[in-house]
Amino acid sequence: MASILSKKQKQKQKSTKLSDLRTLGHQLLSSRTHINNLPKLLSYVSPTSPPQYVVESLLSIQAFFTPVLPDLPSSSSKPSTLNDSQDDPEFIYRTWLRSKFDELVESLIQLLLSPESDETLKEVVLDTLMEFVKLGNGGKFHSAIFHRFLRSIVYSTTPPNFLVDLLASKYFKFIDVRYFTYISVEKLARTLDAKGISDDSNLNTDGNDRSHPSESMEQLIRNIHYIMSHIPSFEGSVEKTDYDMWSGSGESEELSESQKAKDKKQKTEKHNDKASIVSSQYCQKMKLKFTKAWLSFLRLPLPLDVYKEVLASLHQAVSPYISNPVVLCGLLN
């Protein structure tokens, strides 16, 4: 049945022109009466769609979701039976939008991990996903989406090297991206250490029940190590770029033209001061997150090749920045 639906969908996509997608997007952005265009556009965000169709759909979908994300309920929140809001049409509408946004995130991750997606498309898709990480939590870093993304990389059945290289080259310069990467890596390593691969196969932080029949513990460990080895070291952290942040403070900065003209300098100084404070807070906590991530990783049964790589770089890339370097001796013996 699924294959029949897939064939019908492919036939429908073949008969659709780019101009049709553009029209669907314009209608979606113009009026809520065209909300049914959203699932149609989402169906083209797929590894089986031509790249230009994916990009055209994403342009409209991203423009649609960006302003409404702060008003959507959490994916994990469930309305109380005593709460009348669950019968409110607006609440039902926003809940439906949240489900479609979750579908979008899943589709973006599938595109990024698919061997069928070309590298140029993957860069566009990664930028889209990271924009949602940046804006999807009221302007604060959306750690749930980011963790979901990193977990998918670790559990990928195809080599994630290009994707990790791309993530590192474009986003690991941001202090908050590095901070939450260490948090996610620690969680993933602890899960493998405590549960083992068989128990972890059905665990998923986004609430979906999936299995990974072809994964092996060694490959998961290699994927984790590949991510960690591409995070810039603490050396040179005094440079300004290392204090740049990907996400904002969560405050709305929408001002009228007259307000912008009048308060531009004052707001800029205030924003820079707050950004500096927030980034400094990340830096202060970074050593602890770095330590926890590496200690959790080193407790895993490292494959011989990974073990050799870790030993070769440990004295320069890890030991100087661990809170208590002595504990490394016991882990590596």
- For residues 85 and 91, give the distance between their C-alpha atoms in angstroms, rounded to a whole number: 6
- For residues 50 and 16, give the distance between their C-alpha atoms in angstroms, rounded to a whole number: 11
Go through 225-248 and write b for each residue having 16 or more CB atoms within 10 A of its CB, e for each that does not: bbbbeebeebeeeeeeebbebbbb
Nearest-CA neighbor of 305 among 194, 225, 230, 233?
225
Q: What pLDDT, in 10s, does the model give residues 6-46? A: 555 555 566 789 999 999 999 999 999 999 999 999 999 99
What is the pLDDT averaged over residues 170-188?
96
Whether the CB-CB separation of 259 and 189 falls below 8 Å is answered with no
**Close Cβ partners of 56 (under 8 Å, ≥ 6 residues apart):** 18, 21, 22, 25, 44
The domain locations on the chain are 16-75+86-136, 141-205+212-247+264-333
306: three-class secondary structure by DSSP: helix
| Single-letter residue type at 237 | S
Helix boundaries (H) for 245-320: 257-298, 304-313
- The share of the chain scoring above pLDDT 70, in percent, equals 71
Q: What pLDDT, in 10s, does the model give residues 310-320? A: 999 988 888 88
Question: How does DSSP classify residue 34?
Answer: G
Nearest-CA neighbor of 148 among 176, 107, 114?
107
* pLDDT-derived band at 330, boundaries 50, 70, 90: low
Whether the CB-CB separation of 183 and 289 falls below 8 Å is answered with yes
Chain-centre distance of CA 308, in angstroms?
Answer: 30
Q: What pLDDT, in 10s, does the model give residues 222-244? A: 999 999 999 997 654 544 444 68
Instruction: Choose between 70 and 275: higher pLDDT.
Output: 70
- For residues 303 and 102, give the distance between their C-alpha atoms in angstroms, rounded to a whole number: 35
Q: Residue 188: is its pLDDT beyond 50?
A: yes
How would you class 3 by CB atoms within 10 Å of its CB: exposed for 0-12, middle for 13-18, buried for 19 or more?
exposed
Whether the CB-CB separation of 249 and 278 falls below 8 Å is answered with yes
Instruction: Choose between 305 and 82: higher pLDDT.
Output: 305
Per the document, the length of the chain is 333
Q: Give residue for tokens 């999936």.
A: 210
Q: What predicted TM-score, i.e. pTM, was given to this entire model?
A: 0.81
Q: What pLDDT, in 10s, does the model give residues 111-158? A: 999 999 999 999 999 999 999 999 988 888 999 999 999 999 999 988
How would you class 60 by CB atoms within 10 Å of its CB: exposed for 0-12, middle for 13-18, buried for 19 or more?
buried
Q: Give residue for tokens 């549960």.
A: 195
- For residues 255 and 257, give the distance between their C-alpha atoms in angstroms, rounded to a whole number: 6
Whether the CB-CB separation of 328 and 318 falls below 8 Å is answered with yes
What is the pLDDT averaged over residues 273-284?
64
